Amino acid sequence: MVAMDMRAVIAGALGDALAKLGIPEDVLSGGPPHVERSAVRAHGEWSSNVALVASKRAGRSPRELAQALADIIQAAPPRHLRSVEVAGPGFLNFDLHESWLHESLRNIVELGEDRFAVFGTGNGEHVQLEFVSANPTGPLHVGNGWWGSYADALARLLERCGWLVTREYYVNDTGGQIKLLGESILASRSGRQAPEEGYKGDYIATLASSYEGPEDATAAGRWAAERILENIRSTLETIGIHFDEWFSQASIEESGAVEETIDLLRQRGLVYELDGATWLRSTQVGDSRDRVLVKSDGAPTYLAGDLAYHRNKFLVRGFDRVIDVFGADHHGHVSSLLAAVEAMGVERGRLEVKIGQMVSLAEGRMSKRAGTFVSLDSLISDIGPDATRLLSLLSSMDQAATLDLEIVRRQSMENPVYYVQYAHARISSIDRVRVDRGITRVDLADVDLSVLAHERELEVLRRLTELPDVVLDACRERAPYRVTTWVRKLAGCFHGFYHDCQVMGDGVPDGLMQARLWLVEGARIGLSIGLGLLGVRAPESM
């Protein structure tokens, strides 16, 4: 069954009313009509701007048109409608009877965690999500965790909205960086000075002490990269990030796919030779400068490998859509990638590149040079996996963020992680008390929900009804932090309810207790879905 959709009910009533006035719905000036939740309670539960956008077409003033629509709707009101009023410049405000919220709660409980706020928008299309993809030359930093948490939460949103998602890590296991890594290992092993620009962390010495392979930079580099990658994998596992595929750059270079890709681009007249190197004429497809594909020493550039990789994604494996999530430091790479992929014949729009902004810590700049580099591992052991995820998903990834660790170290309400998890723990606690007292929850069908009339109760219910919109918006906007914002609001409503409305107790009549038990169950479902999307545990006790 489908969750009750009040927007559809109201939009339907408006459509019928417009039809009665002889106004076609599809050609309105001033943009599409909206039916949305009122920002202010005094404006009813829902409101619509339809009279504002249709007034020119109708040849009547917005308020006049709104009144005409209101009259028609009043004459045959849809279910749950208490009143419809014209307000402001011509808004229609719909005030609903609380039965709307009671029916919604029934729907939510019946659908449950697995079906409430689930959509088929993606239609089973296959999306490849590439993220983290950090060079296996050192431990992950805080930014990798931040962008990784973003991407993984986005994957969960896409899955809930009907896409099939492959999570993939592109492993830069070849090229100059690996050789440099190997040189650093070899230098450390024999007590020599690390090479200029080489890798110098403690992990280099640790690795070097157990390296028993040949005195060959590439061999040593590959050996070290494998071990570092294993550590990266396990770090990501601790914050709930699991990849379906670890795609090796070396494998694509060795397979001949790079040459095939360059041939493909050459056929389109986009490749030329200069100074012994092979160049991509990317300026012809919208880039700011041409780029080298094959260096004069014969080795392919990172771009060439990446283009072959993207050709593989689209033209070999046939993903319908690809989303790359890169850190801000990969920014310079984006325009050439987009341009070249389009030049391969992949329609613009099938490749999306999301760039995460830089992250800093409130208690000190994060800088490799200054030696204040903070590893993701140390962050996780400091504040825990849940806080690491939630902190990363607190705000938009488009904005450079400052993480305040002091707050999430506290075990109190100021800490958003505790705030939302505690709400869930309280729900579980209520259920434990219920069982201890031998109270049975009556079948929902036999419970009268109309006794839920306290403002605290209604707030929780209203919030719950927003979740489907939140999921859809967050997915479409690629903005998982919107789920976080909602979860925090729901938790807030729940704490307020819990404070003012005792569920079980001497003064609480049986009927009200039963209704409240179901409200608590609804809140549990909403919190579980939200936290699940964020990859944050929903604990039963804390």
Structure tokens at 53: 């956008």
**263 touches RNA by CB under 7 A:** no
Cα separation, 501 vs 88, in Å, equals 36
Applying CB under 7 A, which of residues 110, 244, 363, 398 lies at the interface with RNA?
A: 398
Q: Helix-strand-coil percent breakdown of the chain, rounded to 5? A: 55, 15, 35
- Contacting range for RNA; rule: CB under 7 A; set: 221-229, 236-244, 270-278, 447-455: 270-278
Rg (CA), the chain: 28
In the stretch 163-202, what mask flags binding to RNA with x, by CB under 7 A? Answer: ---------x--xxx-------------------------
Taking CB under 7 A as the criterion, the residue among 82, 495, 528, 537 binding RNA is 495
Nearer Cβ to RNA, position 166 or 396?
A: 396
Residue 446: CB minimum distance to RNA, A: 21
In the complex, what is the shortest distance from the CB of residue 334 to RNA, in angstroms, rounded to a whole number?
8
Q: Dig out the tokens for 133 from the structure.
A: 């993809």
| Residues 277-336, interacting with RNA (CB under 7 A) | 277, 288-289, 291-292, 295-297, 299, 301-303, 328-333, 335
Binding marks (x or -) toward RNA, 108..147, rule CB under 7 A? Answer: ---------------------------x------------
Least gap, CB of 124 to RNA (angstroms): 28
Instruction: Please say whether the beta carbons of 475 and 161 come within 8 A.
Output: yes
Residue 181 Cβ vs RNA, minimum distance, rounded to whole Å: 11
Choosing from 15, 195, 492, 511, the residue that interacts with RNA (CB under 7 A) is 492
Binding to RNA (CB under 7 A): which residues in 42-61? 42-43, 47, 49, 52-53, 56
Least separation in angstroms between CB 430 and RNA: 5
**Distance separating alpha carbons of residues 462 and 460, to the nearest angstrom:** 6
Candidates 19, 20, 24, 30: give the one binding RNA (CB under 7 A): 30
Binders of RNA in range 75-104 (CB under 7 A): 87-89, 91, 93
* DSSP code at position 77: P
**What CA–CA distance (Å, rounded) separates 393 from 390?**
5
Measured from the CB of residue 117, what is the shortest distance to RNA in angstroms? 17
456 and 501 in contact (C-beta within 8 Å)? yes
H/E stretch holding 293 reads strand 291-294
Mark the segment that binds RNA (CB under 7 A) among 103-111, 117-125, 188-196, 398-406: 398-406
Q: Please count the residues of this chain forming the interface with RNA, following the rule CB under 7 A.
A: 93
CB of 37 to RNA, least distance (A): 9
| Residue 235 near residue 380, CB atoms below 8 Å | yes
The backbone torsions φ and ψ at residue 196, rounded to the nearest 5 degrees and listed phi first, read -55, 135
Q: Which of 104, 184, 235, 249 binds RNA (CB under 7 A)?
A: 249
Q: Is-contact 500 454, C-beta < 8 A?
A: yes
Contact 87, 28 (CB under 8 A): no
CA 365 centroid distance within chain: 26
Closest residue by Cα to residue 93 from 30, 33, 31, 49? 49
Q: Minimum Å distance from CB 25 to RNA?
A: 15
Closest approach of Cβ 159 to RNA, in Å? 21
Considering only residues 498, 515, 521, 524, which one is a binding residue for RNA as defined by CB under 7 A?
A: 498
Quote the least distance from Cβ 209 to RNA, whole Å. 26
Q: Which is nearer to RNA, 107 or 174 (CB)?
A: 174
Q: How many helices (H) and strands (E) does the chain have?
A: 19, 14
In Å, what is the CA distance from 519 to each residue of 80, 109, 446, 489, 514? Answer: 19, 9, 14, 16, 9
Q: Interface mask (CB under 7 A) for RNA, residues 216-235, using x and -?
A: --------------------
Residues 330-389 that bind RNA (CB under 7 A): 330-333, 335, 355, 357-358, 362
Task: Give strand pairing partners of 402.
Answer: 360
Q: Are 391 and 148 in contact (CB under 8 A)?
A: no
Q: For residues 237 and 404, which CB has a smaller minimum distance to RNA in the complex?
A: 404
Name the minimum Å distance from CB 505 to RNA. 6
Q: Are 170 and 247 in contact (CB under 8 A)?
A: yes
Listed residue (535, 447, 528, 452) closest to 490, CA to CA: 528
Per-residue tokens: 61: 């003033």
Q: Binding segment for RNA among 6-14, 37-45, 255-263, 530-538 (CB under 7 A)?
A: 37-45
Vertex 398: Cα angle to 393 and 402 (nearest 5): 60
Select the span of 13-21, 31-39, 139-147, 442-450 touching RNA (CB under 7 A): 31-39
**Pairing assessment for the beta strands 291-294 and 277-280 based on DSSP bridges:** antiparallel
Residue 23's closest CA among 71, 56, 61? 56
In this chain, which stretch among 13-21, 203-211, 223-231, 503-511 interacts with RNA, using CB under 7 A?
Answer: 503-511
Among positions 404-463, residues that touch RNA (CB under 7 A) are 404, 407, 411-414, 416, 418-419, 422, 425-426, 429-430, 432-433
Query: Binding RNA by CB under 7 A: which of 15, 38, 203, 320?
Result: 38
Q: Which helix (H) or strand (E) holds 102?
A: helix 99-115
User: Residue 416: which H helix or E strand, with range?
Assistant: helix 416-436
482 touches RNA by CB under 7 A: yes
Q: Which residue, 376 or 393, has its beta carbon nearer to RNA?
A: 393
Element (H, E) at 134: none
Residue closer to RNA, measured from CB, 107 or 144: 144
Positions in 504-523 near RNA (CB under 7 A): 504-505
The residue ranges of DSSP E strands in 297-362, in sequence order, are 321-327, 351-356, 359-361
